[in-house]
Structure 1
Amino acid sequence: MKKILNKIFGILTLTLLSIVIQLNWIVLWVYVLEERYKYVSIGAHVMAIIIAFIVLNKKTQVYNKMSWMLFIVLVPILGCMCYFIFGRSELTKKTREKLSKTHNYYKKFLMGEKSDAELLKLRDSKNAYKLAKYMKNYGHYPIYKSDEAKYYSNIRELFEEMLLDIDKAQKFVFIEFFIVDKGYMLDRLMDILKKKIKQGVEVRFIYDDIGCINTMKTKDWKELSKFGIQFAQFNKFKPIVSVVMNNRDHRKNVIIDGKIAYTGGFNLADEYINRVERFGYWKDAGIKFTGKAVVNSTVMFLEMWNFIKETLEDPTEYIEFSKSKLESYNKIENRKEDAFLLPYADSPLDYETVGENVYLNVINNAKKYVYIFTPYLIIDSEMNKALVNAAKSGVDVRIITPGIPDKKMVFLATQSSYEPLIEGGVKIFQYSPGFVHAKCCICDGKYGVVGTINFDFRSFFLHYESAVLMYKCSAIEHLKQDFIETFAVCDKVTLEFTKRRDYCIRFLQSILRAFAPLL
């Protein structure tokens, strides 16, 4: 009963209700005016046409444009209002200027780092070299010949090792999560962080307000801050209509002394280690990496921290400390000579969709196979074409999606993507034991991507994301093994399955497919 009441009267529910009431009130008044005054009706339709042309000329995907134009034409008043509130992925001028200033300040510290991209050129790895150059020129993150990364298919194992590494921290621990929930994971982490703070270690923690709005209250954060943890709340959610509420910090990063970093699909909540069951078995993935590449993650975190705090903090102290603690790069024990790592971030700051472009590059360069983990498969025509073209060229393209969804409507939209992909030769698998939350991609045993970036519009165009691109790294073999083991417990989706679904479901899916970018 208590859980039901919490859901009914939760902060998120009340704030969303507040927004719905605001929208209904405005729409009601406009329609009342439209009924009484003909010029209001004419004005509304003229406005819809103008907005439709604005959408048509935007620098965004055609699929996204068509969805919004259809919505605006069908329901002019509501469509225009929703577009102004939810449809503009661009930031407000003030926010864009602030973010641009912060980004330009911090990118110079990474641009000053010596990239190992030229080594790829010397090794005749032309495709990898071109991708590395693209990432430095447009993503502003260099690639490093670094220590080996370790891939985790079990987040409980990752969590335990991460706690051990945090316990060894000497100077700083930087933590960034989209979702934080009270429970076993948070308690274990806080016990160690309290201990480290007493030892003089600096602890900073970024969390997304929307991600935590239904799990953590203001008093919870205040209580934790009493122990000396510095918190930064990303994009505080306000119960008023706002454009920037779309842009969330979806990243998950833990950086220890600038020499060890963790990232992946996991958040700080007990379902990620299957201590609590929500949607069957929760399948996720993560990665730990060490060495020079951690500089990217350190600067990435400090950029976000200072954007939130509206400061410009010199990161040199942290970068130099990291370097002083790393062993001579050429003498790292057990280091693979051809292991390259590129931690990177993507944001809605510009029109450079780095997250999607990395995936596209990997897919387009595949010769033998491409395997993908994603909880959501809501893609644009460009990604659809890349996957189908690869499959038609003889590449074994396989995608694993959930068997048990966390969001039913989004899952229907995901399933609506199946038919054209399967017809094009792409193989789709649904994870029978439960919910796949991992966001990974592997190509030909050479390239691997592990991070927070889903194959959907929100990750590609709206959210702040992060991932690690691996090239010729031993962790890629472990990632491949995880895919092979997971295929064994999946149900392969057939074309017959997509066609024989109930007519009502197929009709709903056709509507969802038309408005997919709006989800």
Structure 2
Amino acid sequence: MNLEFLPAIILILNSIFAVTIVFFERRNPTAALAWLVVLFSLPSIGFVLYLIFGQNYTRQRMFVIKEQEDRRFLRETFEEQYREFTDRRYRFATPEAEEFRETIVLLLRNNRAFLTEENRIDLYTRGEDKFDALFAAIRGARDHIHLEYFILNNDDLGRAVIHALAEKAREGVEVRLLFDAMGTRAGGGSRKAFSELTDAGGKIGVFFPSVYRVNYRNHRKIAVIDGVTGFIGGFNIGDDYLGKGPLGPWRDTAFRVTGKAVQLLQLRFFLDWHYVTDEYPGLLPRYFPDPGSSGTTPVQIVSGGPDTRWNAIKEGYIKLINSARESVYIQTPYFIPDESVTDALRLAALSGVDVRIMIPCKPDHPFVYWATLSFVGDLLDAGVRAYTYDAGFLHAKTIVVDGKAGSVGSANWDVRSFRLNFEANAFFYDAAVGAGLARAFEEDLAVSTEITPERYRARSRRVRFKESVSRLFSPLG
């Protein structure tokens, strides 16, 4: 190849991608402008970065069938509840659900996130407790085990999980394990690492094997055992989540769910499993047993991803913030919101609501960390209080409003979770669960440092430069 033509070829490629971004992708204007800056300010590598991180024009082609199948199935399965709950004459069973009925109806209408009202929620903030509960549920399985995780590392904890699943498979329990190709491969996982499970008769599914694409990853963390016990939250499977990794002690949040909401976790797993493997286990009683009445907590399982028309989890977050009368507590490792989220938080704080955001004190992704500090800093003058968690790495993705309602799941407060990754969160409406989540937040304050406006304004020029550069490219995706 004659290298003298290389600059012209690069210019043509960048121009083609620029036209695609402007005229065909219809992406967020801020993100579009950021990509145009990359293409023409870094011409020699801009198109390579775009091939890896961009290309939203492929999203509709890749996931339109998944979206249509998911929505059709959910619509046919729960149409009766949809009609009932969207009727304003309907009264929910608990005062918290009635108080937040607009949030419930919003999520029902834009995501088919159907409400179950008879659940029990157990809250976990330590990896040891969460994985003890998961192993206990696996050991007690009698019919089936379904796991769906972004990361399943090939380390001590990951191998222990595979071994436990293989033991149950050898006993005749049906085991299905779904993991994301990129997330799990980054942790040393491969098909060979799961041979013990497959040799025992377990089934594995690999989500989106195109590991060269950073976007459109399955970031969900779901487990369903015998259709009666479910787990959802921020923990992946690996030694890091027990505090044994390079980031040290690990602070995360997860729910164990018993009750009818487990059926919705099961359904979410089946839809994702079907997309990956073309196998649909079906609405059999063995997979959807009558859970009875485990408790009184209303729960919605809300899904987000590139196969959804609207950003349901983000919109649920915003609706909760707008409904707050007393307090909004948020924990997230990544805080790169769009204007709709920052406006909601700013307006809540200016209205007298106690708005607090907690982020890590250390970065696992430096670029994202400095952008997070920048966006947090923007809100301080409006009265939002912000903290860095100093006792380890904060990985929780939570919100609790007025100590009565909130969300726990896999979705961070950033553009990637809102637009590009497949996520799943449990939205709850219960004062007891809300009080537990608020109490955990308040206990974390004792090992956190507040980012006051004075402290933020006193940051060094070096930090300001890192924030500015990171923020400039934060909309990319």
Q: TM-score, normalised by structure 1?
A: 0.83
- Structure exhibiting the larger radius of gyration computed from Cα positions: 1
Among candidates 228, 235, 241, match of residue 208 of structure 2? 235
309 and 254 in structure 1: CA distance in 2 versus 1, 3 angstrom threshold: same
1:288 maps to amino acid = R
Aligned to 1:316, the other structure's residue is in SS state coil
> Which deviates the most, 93-102 or 473-482?
93-102
Q: Superposed, which structure 2 residues align to 1:124-203 within 5 Å?
A: 128-203=100-175
Q: How far is 1:437 from its partner? A: 0.4
Q: Distance in 2 between matches of 1:424 and 1:403?
A: 22
2:453 maps to amino acid = L
| Matching residue of 1:4 | none
> How many residues of Structure 1 are paired with residues of Structure 2 in the alignment?
471
Question: Does the 8 A contact of 2:179 with 2:207 survive in 1?
Answer: yes
Q: Deviations over 1:1-53 (max 9, x none)?
A: xxxxxxxxxxxxxxxxxxxxxxxx99x7764337xxxxx96x67865763563
Question: Does the 8 A contact of 1:375 with 1:436 survive in 2?
Answer: yes
| Matching residue of 1:379 | 337
Q: TM-score, normalised by structure 2?
A: 0.90
Q: Distance in 2 between matches of 1:209 and 1:124?
A: 39
| Matching residue of 2:272 | 304
Q: Distance in 2 between matches of 1:407 and 1:191?
A: 31
Q: How far is 1:255 from its partner? A: 0.3
Aligned to 2:286, the other structure's residue is in SS state helix
Q: Distance in 2 between matches of 1:475 and 1:386?
A: 24
Question: Does the 8 A contact of 1:287 with 1:450 survive in 2?
Answer: yes
Question: Does the 8 A contact of 2:357 with 2:387 survive in 1?
Answer: yes
Among candidates 193, 205, 212, match of residue 220 of structure 1? 193
Q: Distance in 2 between matches of 1:264 and 1:77?
A: 40
207 and 47 in structure 1: CA distance in 2 versus 1, 3 angstrom threshold: closer
Among candidates 281, 294, 318, match of residue 249 of structure 2? 281
170 and 461 in structure 1: CA distance in 2 versus 1, 3 angstrom threshold: same
Q: Distance in 1 between matches of 2:217 and 2:197?
A: 23
| Matching residue of 1:504 | 462
447 and 425 in structure 1: CA distance in 2 versus 1, 3 angstrom threshold: same
50 and 271 in structure 1: CA distance in 2 versus 1, 3 angstrom threshold: closer
Q: Distance in 2 between matches of 1:504 and 1:447?
A: 40
Question: Does the 8 A contact of 1:402 with 1:435 survive in 2?
Answer: yes
Q: Distance in 2 between matches of 1:140 and 1:487?
A: 36
| Matching residue of 2:394 | 436
| Matching residue of 1:15 | none
Aligned to 1:287, the other structure's residue is in SS state strand
Q: Superposed, which structure 2 residues align to 1:35-434 within 5 Å?
A: 47=16, 50-51=19-20, 53-54=22-23, 58=26, 60-75=27-42, 78-79=45-46, 82-83=49-50, 85-108=52-75, 110-112=77-79, 114=81, 117=85, 118-120=90-92, 128-214=100-186, 215-238=188-211, 245-274=214-243, 276-311=244-279, 313=280, 315-317=282-284, 320-321=285-286, 323-327=288-292, 329=293, 332=294, 335-336=295-296, 339-434=297-392
Question: Does the 8 A contact of 1:89 with 1:461 survive in 2?
Answer: no
Q: Distance in 1 between matches of 2:5 and 2:278?
A: 39
54 and 73 in structure 1: CA distance in 2 versus 1, 3 angstrom threshold: farther
Q: Distance in 1 between matches of 2:77 and 2:178?
A: 21
Q: Distance in 1 between matches of 2:13 and 2:426?
A: 47
Q: How far is 1:194 from its partner? A: 2.7
Question: Does the 8 A contact of 1:113 with 1:142 survive in 2?
Answer: no
Q: How far is 1:218 from its partner? A: 3.0
Q: Deviations over 1:331-373 (max 9, x none)?
A: x5xx33xx21111211111330011111111111111000011
1:236 maps to amino acid = P
Q: How far is 1:169 from its partner? A: 1.6
Q: How far is 1:416 from its partner? A: 1.5
Q: Distance in 1 between matches of 2:399 and 2:114?
A: 20
Aligned to 1:32, the other structure's residue is in SS state helix
Question: Does the 8 A contact of 2:241 with 2:250 survive in 1?
Answer: yes
Q: Distance in 2 between matches of 1:213 and 1:443?
A: 37
Question: Does the 8 A contact of 1:173 with 1:254 survive in 2?
Answer: yes
Q: Distance in 2 between matches of 1:125 and 1:103?
A: 26
424 and 326 in structure 1: CA distance in 2 versus 1, 3 angstrom threshold: same
Aligned to 2:336, the other structure's residue is in SS state coil
Q: Deviations over 1:174-214 (max 9, x none)?
A: 00111111333234333432332233211100011111113
Q: Distance in 2 between matches of 1:108 and 1:285?
A: 31
Q: Give the superposed CA RMSD.
A: 2.7
The answer for unaligned runs of 5 or more in structure 2 is none
Question: Does the 8 A contact of 2:215 with 2:420 survive in 1?
Answer: yes
2:8 maps to amino acid = L
Q: Deviations over 1:368-399 (max 9, x none)?
A: 00001100111111111111111111011111
Q: Distance in 2 between matches of 1:103 and 1:144?
A: 19
Aligned to 2:136, the other structure's residue is in SS state helix
Q: Distance in 2 between matches of 1:298 and 1:248?
A: 20
Question: Does the 8 A contact of 2:311 with 2:419 survive in 1?
Answer: yes
Question: Does the 8 A contact of 2:118 with 2:260 survive in 1?
Answer: yes
> Which deviates the most, 295-304 or 191-200?
191-200
Question: Does the 8 A contact of 1:91 with 1:348 survive in 2?
Answer: no
Among candidates 410, 428, 443, match of residue 452 of structure 1? 410
Aligned to 1:149, the other structure's residue is in SS state strand
309 and 392 in structure 1: CA distance in 2 versus 1, 3 angstrom threshold: same
479 and 93 in structure 1: CA distance in 2 versus 1, 3 angstrom threshold: closer
Q: Distance in 1 between matches of 2:97 and 2:257?
A: 22
Aligned to 2:120, the other structure's residue is in SS state coil
1:260 maps to amino acid = T
Q: Distance in 2 between matches of 1:207 and 1:514?
A: 32
Q: Deviations over 1:453-477 (max 9, x none)?
A: 0011111110000010000252222
